[in-house]
Amino acid sequence: MQPPEEPAARGALSGCLVADFSRVLAGPLATMLLGDLGATVVKVEHPRGDDTRSWGPPFLGHESTYYLSVNRNKRSVVLDLSTPEGASDARRLAQRATVLVENFRPGRLAAFGLDYDQLAAVNPGLVYCSISGFGGAGTKGADLVGYDFVVQAMSGLMDITGPMGGPPTKVGVAVVDVLTGLYAVIGILAALEARRDGGVGQRVEVSLMSSALASLVNQASAYLNTGTVPHALGNRHPSIAPYETFPTMDGVLALAVGNDGQFRTLCGAIGEEALADDERFATNPARVANRDTLARLLEAQLSTRPTTQWVEVLRAAGVPCGPVNDVAGAFRDARRLGLDAAVRQPGPSGDVSSVANPLTLSGSPVTYRLPPPALGHDTDEVLAWLRTPSPAAPLDPA
């Protein structure tokens, strides 16, 4: 039996039906990415809707731009799981699904017959992804509510972010939710590949806390291997110099010098060749040890020209650098670089723009078939399909 599918879309995951029981960010991001790859995604919402629908301003019509950011390529179905009919329809969807994604409190879905064990008994091929804040059922963190901001604080991420000596600072976007969503997609795709041998699915679990700790990479390695506890250094790198921002005549320049050869090139490009032979700066460890002195010398030179001039000079020499943009500047730069950074779709409240999927696949490209749906937009159509024992055709596009 074929899942509901947009006939014109033949992506890598075409034919895959995703039952999306998640809300807010990590889960919806994961299911949107699966939808971009061709999967048919049915977003199951409580009658009051996903919380992010009201997270604004700003709004586009009646929908928050937050909700719009992670819900394209989906159909919205309103189901009240606390009612027998709502729970029954949800089970029908889960029994036909290839993938189910949920971020309820651990153990909460068992009351509705929607936990992994009950569903795997009737749909053994199901890949069931659970996203939690601090761990699944049976862990001490299972009952804790997981919000990105709290996890950034508890994971140490805030302590290594912000100005040196200043207060702990969160990243300017819910980066832990984003990373968790990406890890969820990786786990789901791995489980789908493993299912090729025998057709049996499995449970995929990922938590915000574990994802945040994994994101600490070199900072975590420093602590785990040497006991070194890192703290915020502003825009500086703990192990590389110069790798920070510098004021220019009219703005701020980001400079990333990753090796001794690049440093010598930098010195030549800015007219300070002698710095490359100075024993205080000749090697990266020496530059890290003397970073304050080096920064003052570089700042004295870099502050003599506008940012755009330095970017032109340094890029021509092969030195990694760039301006510190605001978001508008970031999209302008992306367009100048020839990147397709945004996609525009007609939506129920007007045209909707969203950040394009960064993947390029030569044989099964990502597609943008459906705009983020209004609450319950597809309920009647999807429920009619679900309540047909053996539908003769897949669900037509909304």
Cα distance between residue 179 and residue 93, in whole Å:
27
**Does residue 142 surpass a pLDDT of 90?**
no
DSSP assigned state of 126:
-
CATH number, domain containing residue 81: 3.40.50.10540
On whether both 161 and 283 belong to a single domain, the answer is no
* CA angle (179, 184, 185) in 5-degree steps: 100
* Domain residue limits at 50: 17-216+340-386
Please tell me the predicted confidence (pLDDT) of residue 144: 87
| Separation CA 391–CA 356 (nearest Å) | 34
Residue 340, pLDDT > 60, answer yes
The contacts of residue 159 (CB under 8 Å, 6+ apart) are 168, 231, 232
pLDDT at 2: 43
pLDDT at 396 over 80: no
C-alpha to C-alpha distance for 209 and 151, rounded to whole angstroms? 6
Dist. CA 62–CA 75, nearest whole Å = 17
Examine the pLDDT at 293 and tell me if it is beyond 90: yes
Q: Which residue has the tokens 């019509």?
A: 61
Catalytic hit among 20, 89, 148, 177: 177
Determine which helix (DSSP H) or strand (DSSP E) holds 85, and give its type and residue range.
Answer: helix 84-96
Residue 82 reports pLDDT greater than 70: yes
DSSP states of 203-221: EEEEEHHHHHHHHTHHHHH
Residue 395 lies inside a defined structural domain of this protein: no
Looking at per-residue confidence, does 4 or 273 come out higher?
A: 273
- Element holding 86 (H helix, E strand): helix 84-96
- Choosing from 297, 323, 349, the residue where a domain stops is 323
Q: What is the mean pLDDT of residues 105-130?
A: 96
pLDDT category of residue 136 using cuts at 50, 70 and 90: confident
Across the range 2-15, mean pLDDT stands at 65
Q: Residue 313 has what pLDDT?
A: 97
Residue 168 has pLDDT above 50, yes or no: yes
Is the model's pLDDT at 241 over the cut of 60?
yes
Average pLDDT score over residue span 241-249: 97
Residue 2 included in any domain: no
Structural domain count, the chain: 2
3-state helix/strand/coil string of 316-334: HHCCCEEECCCHHHHHHHH
Q: How many residues does the chain have?
A: 398
Evaluate if residue 5 carries a pLDDT over 50.
no
Average pLDDT over residues 140-157: 93
Residue 391 pLDDT level (bands cut at 50, 70, 90) = low
Same domain, 99 and 208: yes
Task: Provide the pLDDT for residue 7.
Answer: 44
Position 229 pLDDT exceeds 50: yes
Looking at the domain assignment, is residue 245 inside a domain?
no
> Which residues, including other chains, have CB under 8 Å from residue 353's CB and lie 6 or more apart?
342, 343, 344, 345
- pLDDT score for 354: 96
pLDDT score recorded for residue 302: 97
355 belongs to a structural domain: yes
More confidently predicted of 115 and 10:
115
Average pLDDT, the chain: 94
Give the tokens for residue 386: 């679900």
Is residue 3 scored above 60 in pLDDT?
no
Is residue 146 predicted with pLDDT exceeding 80?
A: yes
Arithmetic mean of pLDDT, 200-226 = 97
Cβ 184 vs Cβ 30: under 8 Å: yes
Q: Does 381 share its domain with 256?
A: no
User: Is residue 240 a part of any domain in this protein?
Assistant: no
Reported as a pLDDT band with limits 50, 70 and 90, residue 351 is very high
Dihedral sign of CA atoms 63, 67, 71, 74 in order: negative
Alpha carbons 339 and 362: distance in angstroms, whole number: 16
Indicate if 344 and 318 belong to the same structural domain: no
Q: Is residue 148 part of a domain?
A: yes
Residue 296 domain-assigned (yes or no): yes
Q: How confident is the model over 33-72, as pLDDT tens digits?
A: 999 999 999 999 999 999 999 999 999 998 999 999 999 9
Paired tokens of 353: 């723009």
Same-domain check for residues 66 and 192: yes
Round to whole Å and give the CA distance between 218 and 238. Answer: 9
Residue ending a domain, choose from 290, 323, 356: 323
pLDDT band at 292 (very low <50, low <70, confident <90, very high): very high
Q: Is the domain of 349 the same as that of 295? A: no
Task: Specify the pTM.
Answer: 0.92
Percent over 70 (pLDDT), the chain: 96
Structure tokens at 1: 């039996």
pLDDT of residue 9 exceeding 80, the answer is no
Q: How far apart are CA 71 and CA 352, in angstroms?
A: 11
pLDDT of residue 394: 62
Q: The domain that contains 276 carries what CATH number? A: 3.30.1540.10
47 and 81 share one domain: yes
User: Does residue 224 register a pLDDT over 50?
Assistant: yes
Residues 166 and 265 in one domain: no
167 and 48 within one domain: yes
CB 373 within 8 A of CB 43: yes
Is 10 a residue whose pLDDT tops 80?
no
344 and 378, same domain (yes or no): yes
In this structure, the answer to whether residues 376 and 270 fall within a common structural domain is no
Q: Are residues 82 and 108 in the same domain?
A: yes
Residue 398 confidence (pLDDT): 36
Could you give the CA distance from residue 229 to residue 390 in angstroms, rounded to a whole number?
A: 59
Structure token digits, residue 204: 């995929």
Q: Residue 353 and residue 346: Cα distance in Å, rounded?
A: 9
Beta pairing, strands 59-60 & 40-45: unpaired
Find where tokens 């506008």 sit.
Answer: 306
Question: Between the CA of residue 167 and those of 61, 149, 159, 212, 236, what are the distances in Å?
Answer: 37, 15, 8, 19, 16
Inside any domain, residue 182 = yes
Cis preceding-peptide flag for 306 (omega within 30 of 0)? no
177: annotated active-site residue: yes
CB atoms closer than 10 angstroms to residue 157:
22
Greatest alpha-carbon pair distance for the chain in Å reads 79
